[in-house]
Amino acid sequence: MKEEEIIRCQIQEWYPKFKSVSIKTKIHKLPESFVDYIADDSGPFVLPASVANEDALANRVHNPYEEEDYQVSEGSDDEAEPTVAPSFPELELEIKDSIESLGGAVFPKLNWSAPKDAAWISPTQNLRCTCFSEIALLLRSSDSLVHDLCHAYDSCSDKTISRPPSFFLALRKWYPSLRPDMEFRCFVRSNQLVGMCQREVTTFYPVLLDKKEELKALIEDFFHESVRAKFESDKYIFDVYVTGNRRVKLIDFNPWGASTLPLMYTREELERIGGNEGEEVEMRIVESQCSVRPGLKTAVPYDYLDTSPGSGWDQVLRNAEEQLQQDMRASDAAGA
């Protein structure tokens, strides 16, 4: 695999070209200070300081530091510096605007990867975010993003760099009606579609048994009409979603390599099967409850929490409480 193949799979590289067949996305170039923050695992786990209103945010943009946070009483024997929440006011303001323009809820990803392994820590147990603090929480809690930050080019035969020159945050519109059974992974070798399979392999979806051939035909047509001639690599992996009205949406491009899971195939199979013009492409699905595969296990990646009023954790916890109250009211209404 070449560096150029990895570079093409960055969302800021491919999204402008495939915008019309993908989901709505806003992309932000991240300041290096924020990249250092999400990559740093040496100190206490503290979410960025957040604000509750526009005026306070504007003041922080011009006055990012509060002197009293750093003052120590004269003669004090306590020389330990207090933990101060980091602040990224300009980035927070940009992200706030993007979230609003995308309908109030998004899911985040960096150049290549989304923090799916950190969904357990979210108030909603998924990647849905409505504010900067929730995004920072997911990014800082994810182990999988270490790949983007430190190891993106490790498998390149012509490796010359260890990390991209810039990191980007993609905020993708959150669609509450999306169904995990309608997301699929597709494998391309020698510019030919050689295989496809369901993306969520930890669950058996009976509906796929009846729709398998129809879905396969839709995805094949999408590949030939919207992807094949426009993506420059001849060996890659892409993910799609099939909507209720039979439209196919491009979700992501992935490099053909060790960093991308082959899911229901083995890497040896993918190097061997298909590739001949006119040869039928196989779609693999989980065909019974006995065939589901294990999910990803993660550990809690934090040591200390700043839950003081106005902190990022304070906002996340308040959002979790609001979500709980909404669920309880919905449950009561359903039982009435």
The predicted-structure confidence for 228-282, as pLDDT tens digits, reads as follows 999 999 999 999 999 999 999 999 999 998 779 999 999 999 999 976 767 899 9
Least confident of 12-16, 161-165, 291-295, 331-335: 331-335
Q: What is the structure's pLDDT at 259? A: 78
Tell whether 161 and 200 lie within a shared domain: no
Boundary residue ending a domain (174, 202, 224): 174
Q: For tokens 């930050």, name the residue.
A: 149
Q: For tokens 């065939």, name the residue.
A: 291
Q: Is residue 212 part of a domain?
A: yes
Q: Is residue 297 part of a domain?
A: no
Tell whether 252 and 149 lie within a shared domain: no
Cα separation, 302 vs 211, whole angstroms = 43
Least confident of 63-67, 102-106, 261-265, 312-316: 63-67
The 3-state secondary structure of 188-199 reads EECCEEEEEEEC
Q: Is residue 324 part of a domain?
A: no
Q: Is residue 112 part of a domain?
A: yes
Boundary residue ending a domain (174, 200, 219): 174
Angle between helices 132-141 and 89-101 (to 10 degrees): 110
Boundary residue ending a domain (151, 174, 197): 174
Tell whether 88 and 224 lie within a shared domain: no
Cα separation, 210 vs 229, whole angstroms = 31
Q: What is the DSSP letter of 27?
A: E
pLDDT digits (tens, 9 = 90+) for 15-67: 999 999 999 999 999 999 999 999 987 767 788 887 544 444 444 444 444 44
For 224, the domain range is 180-291
Q: Is residue 278 part of a domain?
A: yes
The runs of H, that is alpha helices, within 168-311 are 207-222, 267-272
Tell whether 151 and 223 lie within a shared domain: no
State the chain's mean pLDDT as an integer: 83
Tell whether 54 and 169 lie within a shared domain: yes
The 3-state secondary structure of 40-51 reads CCCCCCCCCCCC
Q: How many domains does the chain have?
A: 2
Residue 70 pLDDT level (bands cut at 50, 70, 90): very low
Q: What is the structure's pLDDT at 68? A: 45
Q: Is residue 228 part of a domain?
A: yes
End-to-end C-alpha distance for the chain, whole angstroms? 59
Q: Is residue 78 part of a domain?
A: no
Q: Is residue 13 part of a domain?
A: no
